[in-house]
Structure 1
């Protein structure tokens, strides 16, 4: 059986109990999934906008990863600008790199971040039990590395960060404090791993994302923040379960699709981020010479099961905090489309 991340009793590795409590807004949230994706079923990011995971050891060459946030040419610079007053007030402000991250990071020579603008990348040392993850990671032309965010944490720990460890202010991005997902969850949490599919079983919750994530609202655990911009949207951290009584044989699923669908019944999927549609995440394998998804898993395969077969489960405490609308092109559009408020000129220009 393939290895799984985090402790056996981690939130991520715990099955949904029998007859769980369905949240009162479940039907509303399922309708939002249909609104977010006309294909009416989960996509799976396998070849872009996902997380490559590289195994490392104590012998992997170490590099120092510099802070990139202030100099990022994309949304990172807007996040930095939004928090600049707090950065100036705090001499030891993390500016994107969490405690213990930055020095002596083991990065294999063949490592390549996600090729889209998120440029996520994760490193795992199974022997030492350590994980590192980054958003907006880049190998510069001189061979050195920098990243907008960086975290190092216990690979066999809880898989849930403690919100008390982050001196974040309402309205900021959690990225300024280290976490590489906007919900403040580890980027390896909920990934569909190639070895799990070939082994025939997924034994953990999955990560998902959509465009209708809730404004200033998240569910802890596992989320400690949100970048949601949709009023009364689906809070990041929400647990979505495929009906456990559903007959999977009725949908013409392949063996591999049934493995994922079974995990969605037993463990569910956690809303962890914003995305243009509604998607799950498989590990990125583009620089792996021995593994690929071709012929094994189709990005559209889970579309066969409509969203109407899912429900949202009560699994944590709803917290009304997060990143309010700020200079971020897609999140701005969602916010203003839903509220009908006029877009502030200065912020609009920042996104053009």
Structure 2
């Protein structure tokens, strides 16, 4: 769980959200066209890379869920604080480390012993505020994710949960109750999502298009349940009370495709993000101290985000009142129970 940037909570709003079911206003390139614009992980038919269908319908709980969501305030972007540092590496040129567990025996796929995790030398300079770190080899299409990551006083790297993900697959794990061990469905995030899934990437803003769904976090997260494509719900409740209402992990929100982005007052970068929210939407993947999206936050990206993207890039347009009118939750399908006993301390 992240304790993310906080905005002023605005309560008492229970406005109905306008249903939106028209086609996305921009053509969606595929295959080679996408790769020419910006690198993206996962297969073309992954839920992360699939546009919301024109005939998609709102969930029957959509109005109540949006009312809960907007009660937490406007929509921000986590960049230099509480986001996900991404290190792009060549595994053949990156030293490997053992990386020890904070919690004995608690780890995910690919972190079995003996363990050799590629750790770039410059990673030691970073102490991520959320404890998340993603290490990505684009050529091998592999991602190593760490949660509660830190280098201790003895120079040893530690993690609360580590997992390796193939970026050629769907980016979606089987639910925890359909695998042999629940940890096989888990990830560094409480939803089971890979850390790279749904990030706003520097190259996407530079090329003018985000060809995938985004990842969203909010304080108003339902505990004890999740929906697909999440594979688990491992919320840690430090500072936040468990809730039987609110958005479940895995829910998909959409900005009304009829919302006029060009006359919205958004910056060029804000418009790129808004178009992604119309076409692909955003999946709920974490609990947070505010309503937030996430931008990749490695040292190289942070240096280039200056003047290109700000944490409040969307906040003045994506107010609670605006989101009440122009956001909906897509039909969630079956609601699944979370693990009865938290597997991650």
Normalising by the residue count of structure 2, what TM-score does the alignment of the two structures yield?
0.79
TM-aligned CA deviation for residue 153 of structure 1? 1.5
State the distance in 1 between where 2:60 and 2:127 align.
Answer: 37
State the distance in 2 between where 1:185 and 1:240 align.
Answer: 16
Give the 3 Å change call, closer, same or farther, for CA 166–314 of structure 1 in structure 2. Answer: farther
Identify the residue that residue 224 of structure 2 maps to in structure 1.
216
Q: Indicate whether 1:313 and 2:335 are aligned.
A: no
Identify the residue that residue 251 of structure 1 maps to in structure 2.
264
Secondary structure of the 1:30 match is helix
**Which residue of 160, 163, 166 corresponds with 2:172?**
160
Q: Indicate whether 1:147 and 2:159 are aligned.
A: yes
1:7–1:157 Cα contact (<8 Å) kept: yes
Identify the residue that residue 198 of structure 2 maps to in structure 1.
190
Paired residues in the alignment total 294
Secondary structure of the 2:63 match is helix
Identify the residue that residue 88 of structure 2 maps to in structure 1.
55
2:171–2:193 Cα contact (<8 Å) kept: yes
2:108–2:164 Cα contact (<8 Å) kept: no
TM-aligned CA deviation for residue 101 of structure 1? 4.8
State the distance in 2 between where 1:252 and 1:223 align.
Answer: 37
State the distance in 2 between where 1:42 and 1:19 align.
Answer: 26
Secondary structure of the 1:33 match is helix
2:146–2:162 Cα contact (<8 Å) kept: yes
Q: Which has the higher contact order (CA 8 A, sep 6+)?
A: 2
State the distance in 2 between where 1:224 and 1:201 align.
Answer: 30
**Which residue of 247, 255, 263 corresponds with 2:276?**
263
Identify the residue that residue 292 of structure 2 maps to in structure 1.
279
Q: Indicate whether 1:67 and 2:101 are aligned.
A: yes
State the distance in 2 between where 1:208 and 1:322 align.
Answer: 22
Secondary structure of the 1:276 match is coil
TM-aligned CA deviation for residue 11 of structure 1? 0.9
More helix by share: 1
Q: Indicate whether 1:46 and 2:46 are aligned.
A: no
Q: Indicate whether 1:25 and 2:61 are aligned.
A: yes
Which is worse superposed, 260-269 or 27-36?
A: 27-36
Q: Indicate whether 1:95 and 2:106 are aligned.
A: yes
Q: Indicate whether 1:294 and 2:302 are aligned.
A: no
Structure 1 ranges of 4+ moved more than 6 A: 323-328
Q: CA RMSD in A?
A: 2.4
TM-aligned CA deviation for residue 325 of structure 1? 9.1
Give the 3 Å change call, closer, same or farther, for CA 231–289 of structure 1 in structure 2. Answer: closer
1:101–1:152 Cα contact (<8 Å) kept: no
Give the 3 Å change call, closer, same or farther, for CA 145–177 of structure 1 in structure 2. Answer: farther
Q: Which runs of 5+ in 1 are unaligned?
A: 71-93, 169-173, 329-352
State the distance in 1 between where 2:259 and 2:289 align.
Answer: 28
Deviations 1:188-233 (A, max 9, x none): 1101111111111100010001111112111112343242822122
Identify the residue that residue 171 of structure 1 maps to in structure 2.
none
